Amino acid sequence: MKRRYKIIIGCAVVLFTALFLARKQFVGGAGSPTVEGSRAVTDGGVKVPGWNGKVDAAEEKAGMTLNDARLIQEGDAFHVTTGPATTYWMSNATASGDFTVKATFNEPKYMNLNSHAHPYGVFIGGNDMGTSDQSELYCAAFGNGKFIVRGFGPTPFRMNGLLGESNSAVHKAPGRGQPVTQDISVSVKGNTVTCAVNGSVVASYDKAALTGAGKLKSTDGYYGLRFAHNTDVLVTGLATSKN
């Protein structure tokens, strides 16, 4: 009888471990399919005047800070290296009404700091920036042909699934260590919010699906840059225009 109990307990432990590991495959950063902890960078911090940043709440709970990621200027590009998943914005960068925010993202060495693709992109609708109530909506691309649309309100809410989705408009890197570039924009026009990658609209939503309790306060607000953890990206051409 004791032997039977030991066998049952052993099977239960194996099953629990398998389920735990399967669940762990879906944590570790926005859109990451496997476990990979954030690794602090050296000489971190926001090193461009007029810029601010905030790491995700989960990163803060794990002891990570803004000094564990780095934003610097290199010529006409912003060079961002994370560290923890981080949002960056300029002190005076706000947009309202009908507008488009766009930027070009160059990952010089795909998966340089990670074991799988991690996303980066632009955000809009930033409110209560730098606080625990910070809200924003971002569209970000992976170097493997996928994109993800997600918000913080301040609780995270997903618009296209846990891991995003594939789209032929999103560029794929030729291989690990190879360069890949994405042009990403988010537009607000009337009651519609769209995300475009490399000139093609990949997602479209009604404002009503993005705002309200637990989501955005408004699509008006700060705009800026969004990076998952353990990324190394050059950004150029961040700009906003009226639609």
pTM metric for this prediction: 0.86
Q: What pLDDT sits at residue 174?
A: 97
Q: In which band, very low, low, confident or very high, does the pLDDT at 9 lie, cut at 50, 70 and 90?
A: very low
Domain boundaries, the chain: 39-242
Is 70 exceeded by the pLDDT of residue 176? yes
Of 222, 189, 50, 207, the C-alpha closest to 122 is 222
Q: Average of pLDDT values for 135-162?
A: 97
Q: In which band, very low, low, confident or very high, does the pLDDT at 35 lie, cut at 50, 70 and 90?
A: low
Following DSSP, what letter does each residue of 176-197 receive, concatenated? TT--EEEEEEEEEETTEEEEEE
Total residues belonging to the chain: 243
Mean pLDDT (the chain, rounded): 89
Name the residue with tokens 């923890």. Answer: 84
Of 139, 138, 141, 140, the C-alpha closest to 171 is 141
Q: Pull the structure tokens for residue 10.
A: 């052993």
| Helix H or strand E segment including 11 | helix 2-24
pLDDT digits (tens, 9 = 90+) for 51-61: 999 999 999 99
CATH homologous superfamily for the domain 39-242:
Exo-inulinase; domain 1 (2.60.120.560)
